[in-house]
């Protein structure tokens, strides 16, 4: 042999020279895909069990593989496992160690499968369990949000449009708006789980295999709902990972909106809430500062998560069937998305229940901003004025209030009557903040009774998960 054969590789047979050392490092994924070791072993156990049932492996061989894999599992757990980039990825690292431990039988494990269906299986198993952890944290956050809403059904604050005071709402109503966003995120997460929970195992490299495999058996053993339908699609598409990242981008978008409000509300200018010190940090130069770092950081994390979504979409775009090495690039964005989502949810689930609303300041802000102007217009409509004329009359009264530094409810009856003589003493009932919110008494409205009922419905939904 003029060239040295590369025998260190599990695929070295047809090669006549060793892999370039840079190429070895460039193509290796073990540094990040070893995160899926537990899933890889679970997949191998299901595959080996099925091969034995199909008569491809003997009972003794299956027992040896089981013992070997459980030792590998143990070595990985206790940190003694020697990961090697010469063995490229998590799959070949584990298989090589198995063979070291149990000899020739270890080499039979890969019968009737390929790393292509193996990796597709591993990512789905990994992501499925990540989804279940995320669902738990999301539920914890929703529970905290709804519970805080239930104890603030009549805490009045200004509602905003264009970040200008619009109409009074209750703090509980505002929190339940957050919960609705999170509720839809939860639905998207479960939709994603449903579609990803199919077993690609048996697709082998791309076309299936000549062995008498039982795909339903491995699917069931791994907790999948069913096997996938088409072998080419099974090893190639990563749309489930893209869907998950799309869920994550929307969730983080929602968390960033909540974060933005927390940042605003803790400022001296709003002063609507108090965040416990444990979620804030100080400034090394300005002794008076208490910065809302946790919400700010969550607001910032949306950038990387959106980036990962675009990475995966771009990775998948134009890929011809079936597996391409491009797909090795799916893992880092996916893993970082999982980590980021879990961290952000944990931060919010811990922090939201600890929010202390400052009811007096919120109420005062609502009172200052002419937030019951629409109520006065509605009152005039009930007296018989067309809405556009009522709007004009109230606009003039507000201009007078701005000039004289008086809120509508603070104006004497005679002042109000100067704008419309039909206004009576009963107008003050609608000009109060309490009257204003109580009047919006329908499904989805901000009346305290509606908010209390909505909070109970939301809690019930959470309990049914
Ligand atoms: N490390 C690879 C990946 O993540 C595993 C599959 C490799 N298959 C192959 N035929 N090169 O995609």
Gap from CA of 102 to ligand 1 centroid (Å): 24
Q: Phi/psi at 199 (nearest 5 deg)?
A: -90, 120
Catalytic residue among 8, 21, 70, 283: 283
For the CA of 327, the closest atom of ligand 1 is 12
Contact call for residues 371 and 168 (beta carbons, < 8 A): yes
Which residues have C-beta within 8 Å of that of residue 96, sequence separation ≥ 6? 10, 84, 87
**Any atom of ligand 1 within 6 Å of the Cβ of 115:** yes
What is the structure's pLDDT at 258? Answer: 98
Question: How far apart are the C-alpha atoms of 269 and 292, rounded to whole Å?
Answer: 14
Residue with tokens 């895909």: 33
What domains can be seen in the chain, in order of their start residue? 12-111 (1.10.275.10), 116-208+219-363 (1.20.200.10), 366-459 (1.10.40.30)
**Ligand 1 pocket, residue 328 CB under 6 Å:** yes
What pLDDT score was predicted for residue 26?
97
Q: Is 40 in the pocket of ligand 1 (CB under 6 A)?
A: no
Residue 325 Cα to ligand 1 middle (Å): 6
CB 40 within 8 A of CB 91: yes
pLDDT of amino acid 3: 44
Q: Is 110 a catalytic residue?
A: no
Return per-residue pLDDT of the chain as tens, 465 residues.
Answer: 344 555 568 888 889 899 899 999 999 999 999 999 999 999 999 999 999 999 999 999 999 999 999 999 999 999 999 999 999 999 999 999 999 999 999 999 999 999 999 999 999 999 999 999 999 999 999 999 999 999 999 999 999 999 999 999 999 999 999 999 999 999 999 999 999 999 999 999 999 999 999 999 999 999 999 999 999 999 999 999 999 999 999 999 999 999 999 999 999 999 999 998 998 888 787 888 889 999 999 999 999 999 999 999 999 999 999 999 999 999 999 999 999 999 999 999 999 999 999 999 999 999 888 999 999 999 999 999 999 999 999 999 999 999 999 989 999 999 999 999 999 999 998 999 999 999 999 999 999 999 999 999 999 999 999
Map the chain to HEC letters. CCCCCCCCCCCHHHCCCCCCHHHHHHHCCHHHHHHHHHHHHHHHHHHHHHHHHCCCCCHHHHHHHHHHHHHHHHHHHHCCCCCCHHHCCHHHHHHHHHHHHHHHHHHHCCCCCCHHHHHHHHHHHHHHHHHHHHHHHHHHHHHHHHHHHHCCCCCEEEEEECCEEEEEEEHHHHHHHHHHHHHHHHHHHHHHHHHHCEECCCCCCCCCCCCCCCHHHHHHHCCCCEECCCHHHHHHCCHHHHHHHHHHHHHHHHHHHHHHHHHHHHCCCCCCEECCHHHCECCCCCCCCCECHHHHHHHHHHHHHHHHHHHHHHHHCCCCCCCCHHHHHHHHHHHHHHHHHHHHHHHHHHHHHHCEECHHHHHHHHHHCCCCHHHHHHHHHHCCCCHHHHHHHHHHHHHHHHHHCCCHHHCCHHHHHHHCCCCCCCHHHHHCHHHHHHHCCCCCCCCHHHHHHHHHHHHHHHHCC
pLDDT at residue 282, rounded to an integer:
83
Our CA angle for 198, 204, 206, nearest 5°, is 95
pLDDT of residue 2: 41
**Residue 28 C-alpha to ligand 1 middle, in angstroms?**
9
What pLDDT shows up at residue 305?
98
pLDDT tens digits, 145-191:
999 999 999 999 999 999 999 999 999 999 999 999 999 999 999 99
Beta bridge partners of 160: 165
Task: Compute the distance between CA of residue 2 and CA of residue 39 in angstroms, rounded to an integer.
Answer: 42
The answer to pTM > 0.85 is yes
Confidence (pLDDT) at 1: 39
Pocket-testing residue among 89, 121, 335, ligand 1, by greatest number of atoms within 8 A of Cβ: 89
- Active-site option among 162, 284, 318, 442: 162
CA distances to 8, 16, 271 from 3, rounded to whole Å, are 15, 6, 75
For residue 348, the model assigns a pLDDT of 98
Cβ 3 under 6 angstroms from ligand 1: no
Residue with tokens 């000009």: 431
Residue-level pLDDT at 16: 87
Q: What local confidence, expressed as pLDDT, does residue 44 receive?
A: 98
Question: How far, in Å, from the CA of 328 to the mean position of ligand 1?
Answer: 6
The rounded Cα 207 to chain-centroid distance in angstroms is: 35
Residue 369 token pair: 């901003």
- The burial of 260, by beta-carbon neighbours within 10 Å (0-12 exposed, 13-18 middle, 19 or more buried), is given as middle
The residues near 91 (Cβ < 8 Å, ≥ 6 apart) are: 40, 115, 118, 119, 122
In this structure, which residue's CA is closest to atom 2 in ligand 1?
Answer: 328
Residues 244, 127 contacting (CB under 8 angstroms):
yes
pLDDT at 45: 98
Active site residue 283: yes
Whether 143 is in the pocket of ligand 1, judged by its Cβ within 6 Å, is no
The alpha carbon of 158 and the centre of ligand 1 are apart by a number of angstroms equal to 55
Task: Provide the pLDDT for residue 5.
Answer: 54
């Amino acid at each position: 042999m003029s060239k040295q054969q590369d025998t260190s590789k599990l695929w070295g047979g047809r090669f006549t020279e060793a892999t370039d050392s840079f190429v070895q490092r460039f193509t290796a994924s073990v540094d990040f895909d070893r995160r899926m070791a537990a899933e890889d072993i679970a997949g191998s156990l299901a595959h080996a069990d099925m091969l034995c049932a199909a008569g491809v492996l003997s009972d003794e061989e299956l027992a040896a593989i089981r013992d070997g894999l459980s030792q590998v599992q143990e070595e990985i757990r206790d940190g003694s496992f020697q990961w090697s980039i010469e063995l490229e990825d998590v799959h070949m690292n584990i298989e090589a160690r198995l063979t070291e431990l149990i000899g020739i039988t270890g080499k039979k494990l890969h019968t009737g499968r390929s790393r292509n269906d193996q990796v597709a299986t591993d990512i789905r198993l990994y992501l499925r369990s990540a989804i279940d952890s995320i669902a738990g944290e999301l539920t914890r956050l929703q529970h905290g949000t709804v519970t805080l809403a239930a104890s603030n059904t009549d805490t009045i604050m200004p509602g905003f449009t264009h970040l200008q005071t619009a109409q009074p709402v209750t703090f509980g109503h505002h929190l339940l708006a957050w919960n609705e966003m999170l509720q839809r995120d939860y639905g998207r997460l479960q939709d994603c789980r449903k579609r990803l929970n199919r077993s690609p195992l048996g697709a082998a490299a791309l076309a299936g295999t000549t062995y008498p495999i039982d795909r339903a058996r491995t699917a069931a053993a791994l907790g999948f709902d069913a096997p996938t339908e088409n072998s080419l699609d099974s090893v190639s598409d990563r749309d489930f990972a893209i869907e998950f990242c799309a869920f994550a981008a929307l969730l983080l978008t929602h968390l960033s909106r909540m974060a933005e409000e927390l940042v605003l509300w803790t400022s001296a200018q709003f002063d609507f809430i108090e965040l416990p010190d444990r979620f804030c940090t100080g400034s090394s130069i300005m002794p008076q500062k208490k910065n809302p770092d946790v919400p700010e950081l969550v607001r910032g994390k949306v950038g990387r998560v959106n980036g990962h979504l675009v990475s995966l979409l771009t990775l998948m775009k134009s890929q011809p069937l079936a597996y391409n090495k491009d797909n090795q690039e799916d893992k880092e964005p996916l893993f970082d998305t999982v980590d980021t989502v879990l961290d952000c949810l944990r931060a919010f689930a811990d922090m939201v229940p600890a929010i202390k609303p400052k009811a007096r300041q919120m109420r005062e802000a609502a009172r200052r901003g002419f937030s019951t102007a629409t109520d006065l217009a509605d009152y005039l409509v009930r007296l018989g004025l067309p809405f556009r004329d009522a709007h004009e009359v109230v606009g003039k009264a507000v201009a007078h209030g701005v000039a004289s530094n008086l809120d509508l409810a603070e104006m004497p009856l005679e002042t109000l009557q100067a704008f419309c003589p039909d206004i009576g003493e009963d107008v003050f009932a609608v000009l109060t903040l309490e009257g204003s919110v109580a009047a919006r008494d329908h499904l989805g409205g901000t009346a305290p009774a509606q908010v209390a009922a909505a909070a109970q419905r939301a809690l019930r939904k959470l309990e049914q998960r």
